[in-house]
Structure 1
Amino acid sequence: MIAAEPQSREQIEIHVRYLMAASGITSIIVNLYGIYLLIYYHGSMDSYRFHLLYFQMTCLIFDVYFSHFMVPIPLFPITGGYSIGILGRLFRLPTHYQMVAALWFLGNTITCIFVSLLKRHQAVAKIEQKNRMHQIMVKFSILSSNTAPVIGTFIYALSEPDNYMKRIILSNKFPNSLWVLDIPTVVIYDISFKTNPMFTCIVYSVFGGSALIMISYNILYFQLFVMLNSVKTKISQKNYKKHFTAVINTILQNLVFFIFYVIPAIILFLVIYFEFDATYTSIFMIFAFSVHSTANAIVVIATFPTFRRAFKISRFAR
C-alpha cells in the first residue's frame, strides 16, 4: 500500500478543512454555553462543578486548537501525517510538536474525569464509613494521574525520528511513498524498537495505561453504586440525587470518550490491518475527535436538572 497521491491528498484536505471548521465553530458555541451554565446556574452543586468547569474549558481549548490551529491530515497506512492549520501554514511549526500539545490536552481531560470520580468515591465512602482510602493514597493517585500526561508528552516530544531515519522507515515499508518527505511539517513514526524505540514505548504505555484506567474505573464505579445503595436511607433524597447524578455524569463522559476516541481508532486499526483504503476512515476519525467536547457539553447540560431547567428557560425567553 502507498499513501494517498497529491491529487487525492488535496481532496482529503478540502474535506477535513470543512469538517473541522464546522466542528470547531459548533464546539465554541456549545462549550461556551455549557461554561456559562456552570458559572451562573450551578444551583446546589458542590465542588464537583469546578471539576466540570475545568474539564469543559480544557475540552474547549483542545477543540479550538485541534480544529483551527492544528488541523491534522493523516498519511495512512504510514504512521504519520502533517498539519494544515494556522500553526503549520503561518508558522511552519512541525506537526510533531503540535501533537505534543494535543496529547497533553487529551491526557488532561482523562485525568480530570478520573480525579472527579475518585473524589466522588471518597465523598460517598466518608458517609458510609467504608472503602475509604488512606489520604496519602488519595493524594498519590491524584498526583500520579496529573503527572502521567506530563511525562507522556515529554517522552513523546523526544520520540520523533531524524530525517535520515524517516527515509529508512519509508524505504523499508513504503518505498513508493518517499514523496511524503517533501510535505512541509510532515512527521513519520514507526512502531518498532529498532527504528523508533521511544515512540514504540509510548504506544505500548498508552495501551497499558488504558487497561489500568479501565480496571480502576470499573472498581470505583462498582463500589460507588454499592455504597450509594447502602447510604440511600441515611442521607436526604436531595443529597442522594446529587451524588447519583454526578456518578452518572462521569459514566456518560467516559462513554463519550469511548465512542468518539476509542471506537474510531479501533475501526481505523482494523481498516489498515486488513489493507482497505483508510482515506475516509481517517477523515471520520479526525472529525470524531474534534466533536468530542461538544458531545461532552451536551452530556453535562442533559445530566444535571439545574442545567436542563436553565436551558428550557433560555429557550422560552427567546
Structure 2
Amino acid sequence: MYNIDFSEPLWIVNYYHFIGISSLLGNIFGIYLLIFQTKELGEFRYYLLLFQVVCTATDLNLTTFMKFLPYYPINALGTIGYFSQWFNMPTHYCMLVSLTFIYYESECLALCFFQKHQKIASVIDVHVIPRYAIIIGSLIFLAFPVYPIIAMQILDVGQEKQLEYIKENLFDYYAGFSTVPHFAIYVDSPLLYSVYSVVLLTMGAIFGCLVLVNTDLIRLMVRLKPQISQQNYQKHAEAIQSLIVQMFVAGLCALPLFGVAFVLAFQMENGQLIGKLMFVCCTCHSTINMISLFIFFPPYRRYLLKKFGIKRRSLFQVGASSVLS
C-alpha cells in the first residue's frame, strides 16, 4: 500500500495562487510588448501574439480553473480549481481540456517557426513547401488530439462508478478517495497505455520538428544575409532568436510530462510527491519564458533598458548576442 495524502497541501495551493498571478501579469505584459513595442518585427509579431494568447489561456486553465492534484502512483488525479468548485466540472473533462490547451500551445509555437521558415525560404527560393502539403500537414496536426480524447472517454467510468471501482479493487484507499470531492481514476489497460504513447510521441515529434526547422533556419539565414539589408537581416535574426528561446523553455517545461509517465509506468513509491513537483514545473512555463525573453530577446531587452534609462551595456546583454549574427 502506497502512502498517499488525500488532503489539499497548503504549499501547492499557495503556489498555484502565486504562479497564476505572476503568469497572468507576465503574459499580459508580453501581449502589450508585442502589440505596441515590437513593430519592427512586422506581421510576424502577430504569430508571436497568438502564441502568447494561447499561453495565457493555458496558464489560467492550469493554475486557476483546474488546479490538479496527483494521487500517484495510482493513476488518479484530483482538481481543486474554480471549474470543479463552482460548476462541479468532472476532473476527467478538466484533464481533457488541459491536455488540449497544452497541445495547441505547442502547435502555435510550431506555427511561428514554420511561418518564419517559409518567409525566409520564399525570399531565397529554397525549401519552399507547396500549399497543398501545408494544408494536409495542418489537418493532420489539428486531428492529433482526436484519438486521445475518444480513448479517454472510453476509459472514463463516470463519477458515480469511480468509488464503486475503488471499493472493489483498491479498498485500502477507499476512505481517502471518499473525502475527495472531485477526482478521476483510470484502470491500467492497453488502451490507456496507447493514449500515453500517442501523447508523448506527438509532443516529441513536435519538438523534433522544431529542432529540424530551427537548424534549417540557421542555414537559410547564412544564405539570406548577402541578399538583404543589415536592418532586415537583424529583424529576421531577432525574431528567430525569440523562437529559439521559447522553444528551449517550452521543452524544459514539457519534460515533466515524461516524468509523470515514468512515475506511473514504474509505480514509484514517492510518485505523489514527484507528481506534484512535475506539475509545479509545468505551470511555471510563462514566468520562465518572460524572464528568458527579457534576457535574450533584443526588442524586450531594449525596451527594459530604455524604460529604466540604462544607456550602457548591462548584465542583461552578456552572452545574449544572436547565434545568427
Instruction: State the TM-score, normalized to the length of structure 2.
Output: 0.84
**Stretch deviating more after TM superposition (58-67 or 15-24):** 58-67
Report the residue type matching 2:58 in the other structure.
Answer: F
Match for residue 252 of structure 1?
245
Report the residue type matching 2:268 in the other structure.
Answer: E
- Counterpart Cα distance in 1 of 2:24 and 2:52: 11
Match for residue 215 of structure 1?
208
Matched, 1:188 2:185: yes
Superposed CA deviations along residues 16-50 of structure 1, whole A, max 9, x for unmatched, are 11110110111111111111111111121122211
Q: Could you tell me how far 1:181 is from its partner in structure 2?
A: 4.2
Q: Could you tell me how far 1:180 is from its partner in structure 2?
A: 4.5
Report the residue type matching 2:257 in the other structure.
Answer: A
Match for residue 54 of structure 1?
50
Matched, 1:37 2:28: no
Q: Would the aligned equivalents of 1:3 and 1:77 in 2 still touch at CA under 8 Å?
A: no
Match for residue 305 of structure 1?
298
Matched, 1:265 2:265: no
Matched, 1:291 2:284: yes
Superposed CA deviations along residues 273-299 of structure 1, whole A, max 9, x for unmatched, are 273313332222121122112222333
**Stretch deviating more after TM superposition (149-158 or 35-44):** 149-158
**Stretch deviating more after TM superposition (230-239 or 148-157):** 148-157
Q: Would the aligned equivalents of 1:27 and 1:63 in 2 still touch at CA under 8 Å?
A: yes
**SS of the counterpart of 1:82?**
strand
- Counterpart Cα distance in 1 of 2:126 and 2:120: 9
Q: Could you tell me how far 1:151 is from its partner in structure 2?
A: 5.7
Match for residue 70 of structure 1?
66
**SS of the counterpart of 1:81?**
strand
Going from structure 1 to structure 2, the CA distance change for 1:149 and 1:249 (only over 3 Å counts) comes to: farther
Equivalent positions of 1:1-318 (< 5 A) are 1-2=1-2, 4=4, 8-10=5-7, 12-149=8-145, 152-153=148-149, 155-162=151-158, 164=161, 167-168=164-165, 172=169, 174-182=170-178, 183-193=180-190, 197=191, 199-262=192-255, 264-270=256-262, 273=266, 275-316=268-309
- Counterpart Cα distance in 1 of 2:54 and 2:143: 16
**Stretch deviating more after TM superposition (180-189 or 38-47):** 180-189
- Counterpart Cα distance in 2 of 1:61 and 1:102: 10
Going from structure 1 to structure 2, the CA distance change for 1:91 and 1:311 (only over 3 Å counts) comes to: same
Report the residue type matching 1:24 in the other structure.
Answer: G
Report the residue type matching 2:68 in the other structure.
Answer: P
| Aligned CA-pair RMSD | 2.6
Instruction: State the TM-score, normalized to the length of structure 1.
Output: 0.86
Going from structure 1 to structure 2, the CA distance change for 1:171 and 1:266 (only over 3 Å counts) comes to: farther
- Counterpart Cα distance in 1 of 2:32 and 2:129: 34
**SS of the counterpart of 1:44?**
helix
**SS of the counterpart of 1:184?**
coil
Going from structure 1 to structure 2, the CA distance change for 1:116 and 1:298 (only over 3 Å counts) comes to: same
Q: Could you tell me how far 1:169 is from its partner in structure 2?
A: 7.1
**Stretch deviating more after TM superposition (156-165 or 302-311):** 156-165
Q: Would the aligned equivalents of 2:106 and 2:206 in 1 still touch at CA under 8 Å?
A: no
Q: Could you tell me how far 1:175 is from its partner in structure 2?
A: 4.5
Report the residue type matching 2:198 in the other structure.
Answer: S
Q: Would the aligned equivalents of 2:121 and 2:220 in 1 still touch at CA under 8 Å?
A: yes
Q: What number of residue pairs does the alignment pair up? A: 307
Segments of structure 2 that go 5 or more residues without pairing to the other structure are: 311-325
Q: Could you tell me how far 1:65 is from its partner in structure 2?
A: 2.1
- Counterpart Cα distance in 2 of 1:230 and 1:170: 66
User: Quick one: percent identity of the two aligned structures?
Assistant: 24
Going from structure 1 to structure 2, the CA distance change for 1:24 and 1:236 (only over 3 Å counts) comes to: same
- Counterpart Cα distance in 2 of 1:3 and 1:188: 17
Report the residue type matching 1:234 in the other structure.
Answer: Q
Going from structure 1 to structure 2, the CA distance change for 1:135 and 1:166 (only over 3 Å counts) comes to: farther
Q: Could you tell me how far 1:73 is from its partner in structure 2?
A: 0.8
Superposed CA deviations along residues 134-157 of structure 1, whole A, max 9, x for unmatched, are 111122223332343466445544
Report the residue type matching 2:41 in the other structure.
Answer: M
Segments of structure 1 that go 5 or more residues without pairing to the other structure are: none
